[in-house]
A and B are shown apart, each in its own frame.
Chain A
Amino acid sequence: MFSWSQDESEGAAFRQSGTKFLCINDEKALAELSEFQILYLPDGKKANLQGKYIASGFYLADDVTESAQGAIYSLRINGFDNYQIYNQKHETTAFGYRISDESAVRSISADALKAEDDAIAYRVFIDKKNDNTGKILVKSDNELVRTIDFTGDCKCSYPPSADDIYFKTSSISKVYIYYYQKRSLTIDRTIYQNEELVSQLVQEVNNQQLNGFNEDVFGKVLTDKLKTYEKINNRKFYVVLFQTNILCLHQSSWNRLADEVFLKANLPSDAILITLPYVQCSGIGSDLGEYFFMPGLSYGSNVTIDLSGLSKDYKNTQRTASFIADNSYSPVWNFVRDVFKNTAKQYVRHYFYITARGEIIGRSETESAYIGFLGNVDFRLVVDERIKKYFDLLDKTNETMDPKNLSSANQYGVDSHIKARQDAENEFNNFFTDNPSPKDFIVDHGMNEFVGTTDENNCIQFTEWYRDRIYAIDKKQASPSGDCFYAGRNEVDYNEALASIDALGLILMPFNFDWVADGIGFIYSGFHFDFTNSSIYGTGAFIPLVSAGTIKSSSKALIRGLRTGDSRIIREGSGYVIKWVRNDFGDLDKPLRRLNSPNLADAFKKDFDNFAEATKKMFLEKPELVDSWKALGDFPTLRKNITNIETLEKVKGKFTYNGKTGQAALEEIFTGHKSAQKFIDNFKKYDELIGDVDDITITGIKSSSEVRILNNSSQVGKIIDGKVYLKHDGWGSDVLMSESQRITILGKYLENQPGGTHFLMQSGLVNKTLNGKEGFRILSSSEIDEIFAKAQNAIKSGNYDLADELFEQAWEINRKWLDEGIANGDVIRLISEPTPANLSLINHRGEIVPSFYGREKIYLESKGYVQQGYAFIKP
């Protein structure tokens, strides 16, 4: 069936400017046209279709190539359009599928279509009107022999831009074509016109917008790269996967599909989108891969990508469904990675220096519009190695201060100790006189393995961790979780066999940032990931660890206290001292420590002074409430309302926003929220009614007070103005919950499809206790399921009497369930339009009978109910 050529192209009349053609998508018209079996090929030769093939597309009368005018453009073979393939001499060699500019797959060769030289051949011209209808004119030697009306053309366009071709799929494609044709599956040249697929990919984009990058799919390394890129460059990177059952071989169509999704998802001008629809063809050999991807690239006007940097021979197939870039070999990710690599981005250099005293000096520089992947963020760390001697001396000095050395000493011992102490102190004081020259060395930190992933916060974390782990007095750092810095895997991480590093939290937390105001703000802004507003770029900054004076006057315990939060560094005169902070704020110590900011601490103390006594008590007993107070930082009035604070505290654990959860999510959404009080009121309603339901989370948007209810990241409901709606994409739309009455929901089952009761049951909100009573109710009975299974077997075996009996048993259970709803005074809500299609069916006997939904309607009417709108009521 297939043959192969590297030197051929499928295409318009030899891909010249002025090529015009049209395909007919009207089976009746084509069937009538099939009376004419001898037609012309674009090179002027005659082709005999032999009753096997249907000519479906033709070059138009004004095509630039005279011999092509009225000749065949495409043949329909096995239901699919195959297009002209020609060689360098512009001879038509076959009809088949185009793969790239240089290659194609043949379905039928021109030789196999060869007609007798003296056969009477016809040319077919298409006279298309503007309304998608027209006439097919069949001519022989310019004499009109038949006119056929048609409706519908293919709307395809040609040729695609050569820049659209990035994948070398040729040798693999024919295997997939064969696989699809053998199974009569759809091969679609114009996949971008498939509204369902576009809609599904748009949904995937929306999911990524809502939940951020999915590390399970992207892998940690690529996720970190993309996050860092977005942070530094104010761009959004979307990569969406979706399994489909439609095969498309035209790479330009893949990109047009991405364009469609980009537009439909309403992505902004700074977005980059890669769509990855794919088909899985079980059984295709392991050397080729069962997974065939159709990657498309689309990006906004505010993005620059050097497309010449992309290869033309990426692989688009792989053997497994493993997409994770850093855990397994995944050819498709080479394309994704290179798109990122060739996207214009800033080049950031971070320089950090650890002085002999343990001070850290940091400096960063940026360069705009840098293209490249490796090296877009560069991190250099230099250490003055005198630090080791300096800290050893500090340790020794502290040792001499320990009173236990004197506890059992005689006078000689005391004198010796005092001398040793004076010597140590003198040596310490003279350290820089005795060791005047810095001895710098560059730390081989290993973070260049994945440079481009190092953001500023990461560099700070690493620098502080390095200083304290290698040189500080205790030389210990906890490593609680994870194997990555925020932005990238770290070679040191492995070399040191550490699980992770949390140096930033350990070092900065006890400082309480009291000295941020001293002009050392970049750590603060870095800690809060506020890079764009930070003063770090292009400026130097200085972070003192401890001054000599501080060290002299501090005990080892105080320094150790820095690590545990019991002490902190405060400016005193021209230097710094370490002081115990426990009880510094009296009763408010715990909440204020959670705020970690002097400005916030001042603001909270003012609010606290004006709180009622009961409220004050609540904050003192539950210091964590201050987190919710902090989240409402933009709303000084709202945060004085303890009900608001309590509500946020209760829902915090279930709240997600922009890929964040809990406190971080709350802080982000309330920054600049347009309707904060109503939003909180809806949170309160959620907490009252749904807060106890497992697997349910919530989210929202800044521009609305609506709370969106999620189950496994899919929206299943919403709360607007204190009213709870169960999401229903069918007749009557969402189901409104009543706080006084239970809602019994009736409708068609529609297994695994939106719009039916089965879908609503998967929401997690139905047949659940909401605020002490059932809110939404849908019939769900394992007994009925078992009866239906028996009935199915009875029908298969032809035992129709038994099947009828089983249906009656099932209805009896259904009826009793309905009676319970009637007795309870439930609101009866219909979710399927009461049309014949939903209320009746043809059963196994060929009889028209009521469906179970139909029986429910009939039964309720027998009980005096009447339909009013989307509900059944009892007048």
Chain B
Amino acid sequence: MELEDNIKKDFANLMGKHKLSLSSLTPNSVRLENSFCIINLQLERGVEFYVTFVDKKTKREYPLMNLVFFKGLQDRKRITASSLFELHAKEIELYFSDLLLGDFTWSDEYDKYMNRYTL
């Protein structure tokens, strides 16, 4: 439950603003969701933190790092925070809040972009 507690603390602002509810899936993964979007948060081996968005309407998954590259955010201004989780909460708030409002209108463009990784 340590992850859940950390998420509750460090994602509090984001959860309040976007009416996100929280449920624990496993000790290492937590799900946040509102009526538009699910955010799956996975902590790997205590040090690697992965974020995936899911469009509730289409059930499609959009990993955060894919979106960073798709949106050309590789060179964005670096965010600092007091914890790995707060850092990601800020990252989501700053660059991906449109997803939390259900805006996935760019998904066709995303598909075209991701084609470069398809065999």
Chain A residues positioned under 8 Å from B107 (CB to CB): none
Residue in chain A with minimal CB distance to B33 = A186
Chain B residues positioned under 8 Å from A836 (CB to CB): 63, 65-66, 68-69
Flag if A837 contacts B65 (CB, 8 Å).
Answer: yes
Flag if A844 contacts B45 (CB, 8 Å).
Answer: no
Tell me how many residues of A have a C-beta within 8 Å of chain B.
46
Q: Does A651 contact B (CB under 8 A)?
A: no
Flag if B84 contacts A79 (CB, 8 Å).
Answer: no
CB of A747, distance to nearest CB on chain B (Å): 12
Q: Does A145 contact B (CB under 8 A)?
A: no
81-113 of chain B: CB within 8 A of chain A: 81-84, 87-88, 91, 101-102
CB of A144, distance to nearest CB on chain B (Å): 27
Chain A residues positioned under 8 Å from B80 (CB to CB): 845-846
Flag if B48 contacts A844 (CB, 8 Å).
Answer: no
48-66 of chain B: CB within 8 A of chain A: 48-50, 52, 57, 63-66
Flag if A750 contacts B44 (CB, 8 Å).
Answer: yes
A143 CA to B28 CA, complexed, in Å:
55
Chain B residues positioned under 8 Å from A796 (CB to CB): 83
Flag if A835 contacts B49 (CB, 8 Å).
Answer: no
CB of B111, distance to nearest CB on chain A (Å): 13
A695 CA to B55 CA, complexed, in Å:
40
Flag if B66 contacts A841 (CB, 8 Å).
Answer: no
A869 CA to B119 CA, complexed, in Å:
7
Chain B residues positioned under 8 Å from A795 (CB to CB): 47, 83-84
State the majority secondary structure of interface residues on A.
Answer: loop
Flag if B45 contacts A752 (CB, 8 Å).
Answer: no
A803 CA to B65 CA, complexed, in Å:
22
Chain B residues positioned under 8 Å from A753 (CB to CB): 29, 42
Stretch at the interface among A97-105, A594-602, A783-791: A783-791
**B-facing mask of A8-44, CB < 8 A → 1, else 0?**
0000000000000000010110000000000000000
A432 CA to B59 CA, complexed, in Å:
84
Flag if A27 contacts B36 (CB, 8 Å).
Answer: yes
Q: Does A185 contact B (CB under 8 A)?
A: yes
Chain B residues positioned under 8 Å from A807 (CB to CB): 47
Q: Does A840 contact B (CB under 8 A)?
A: yes
Q: Does A184 contact B (CB under 8 A)?
A: yes
Flag if B28 contacts A752 (CB, 8 Å).
Answer: yes
Flag if B78 contacts A845 (CB, 8 Å).
Answer: yes
Further 13 A-B residue pairs, CB within 8 A, beyond A27-B35, A837-B64, A851-B48: A79-B35, A184-B21, A245-B23, A749-B45, A751-B28, A752-B26, A796-B83, A835-B65, A836-B69, A837-B65, A841-B50, A842-B64, A846-B78
Binding site for B on A (CB under 8 A): 25, 27-28, 79, 151-152, 184-186, 245, 748-753, 785, 788-789, 791-792, 795-796, 798, 803, 807, 833-848, 851-852, 869-870
The 10 nearest A-B residue pairs measured at CB: A837-B63, A792-B46, A184-B21, A837-B65, A836-B69, A846-B78, A836-B65, A837-B66, A27-B35, A846-B79
7 pairs from A and B in contact (CB 8 Å cutoff) = A751-B28, A752-B26, A753-B42, A791-B47, A807-B47, A845-B80, A846-B81
